[in-house]
Amino acid sequence: MRFLLIRPIEESLTLAQKLEALGHCSVTNPVLTIEAVSPSVLDLTCYQALVFTSAVAVRIFAKHYGVGDLPIYTVGQKTALAAERLGFRDIQSGDGDVNKLAQLIKSTADASHGPLLYLSAADIAQDLNELLKDNDYQLDRVILYNAKAKTTFEELTIKALKERKIDYIPFYSSRSALIFKEITNKTNMTEYLNQVTALCLSSNIEEKISDLPWKRTLTATRPNEPELFNLIGIGL
């Protein structure tokens, strides 16, 4: 099977290696460029836990502030795994969904025990603070990076699409899906999608690209990577 991977470069390369080990090939073309924000001084002693909704934020935080011993909450399995690999130990993970992450925090964190620190990108798909504010939680947010949208595809991607050498494109976020659609329309590449299947992590993502002329769109029953690739019989 042949894949086009559009996640940030580290995530795309990691996935490409997994797929290659299983006999598949990939073209990597991130549609977002990650730019870390200059680190600020953080007093972590007043917080009861850290909250992450991306593996990128975990890596940047660990690089600038270390791992420490605070408990952490992550949005899903991939972010939790990234944290574990970096040395975080007390990790609780949602099921790949910000709403479920909020529910997890409500069920396991006592608002009276102090604020939570949310480390994120400048642009976020959903406001976690809005989901928690009615339960008296204080969620302080610190922006660690900007994810800047690209405006065109790389030549290798254009060539692969035109030559019908892409079978699947996995989509992990609404924002990357929208950027992909914008680039595709701008570069007149939509006609080359009719032999490509879109793999969507959630129904929200599928809605963003449903008007493109795909061969098929498949959506994971649960928003995590193993479920996404189970749709096409690949075990990750």
The confidence score (pLDDT) of residue 167 equals 98
**Sheet arrangement for strand 49-52:** 32-36, 139-149, 116-121, 49-52, 72-74, 91-93
**What pLDDT does 123 receive?**
86
- 51 neighbors 30 (Cβ within 8 angstroms): no
Query: Which sign does the torsion angle of CA 226, 63, 94, 92 carry?
Result: positive
What pLDDT score does 140 carry? Answer: 94
For 184, residues 6+ apart whose C-beta sits below 8 A from its C-beta are 190, 193, 212
How many Cβ atoms sit within 10 Å of the Cβ of residue 168? 23
Report pLDDT for 13.
94
**pTM check: above 0.75:** yes
Contact 211, 205 (CB under 8 A): no
pLDDT of res. 40 = 84
2-31+150-230 shares its CATH topology with 35-147: yes
**Residues 24, 132 contacting (CB under 8 angstroms):** no
pLDDT for residue 39: 80
As a three-state string, the secondary structure of 36-105 is: ECCCCCCCHHHCCEEEECCHHHHHHHHHHHCCCCCCEEECCHHHHHHHHHHCCCCEEECCCCHHHHHHHH
Are 65 and 42 in contact by the 8 Å Cβ rule? The answer is yes
Beta-carbon contacts of residue 85 (< 8 Å; ≥ 6 apart): none
pLDDT at residue 38 in the model: 85
CATH number for domain 2-31+150-230, candidates 3.40.50.10090, 3.40.190.10, 3.30.930.10, 3.30.1330.120: 3.40.50.10090
Domains in the chain: boundaries:
2-31+150-230, 35-147
Q: How many CA atoms lie within 13 A of 84 on its CB side?
A: 10
Statement: 35-147 belongs to CATH 3.40.50.10090:
yes
Q: What is the pLDDT along the chain (236 residues), one digit of tens a residue?
A: 999 999 999 889 999 999 999 999 999 999 999 999 988 889 999 999 999 999 999 999 999 999 989 999 999 888 999 999 999 999 999 877 888 999 999 999 999 999 999 999 998 878 898 889 888 899 999 999 999 999 999 999 999 999 999 999 999 988 999 999 999 999 999 999 999 999 999 998 999 999 999 999 999 998 889 999 999 999 88
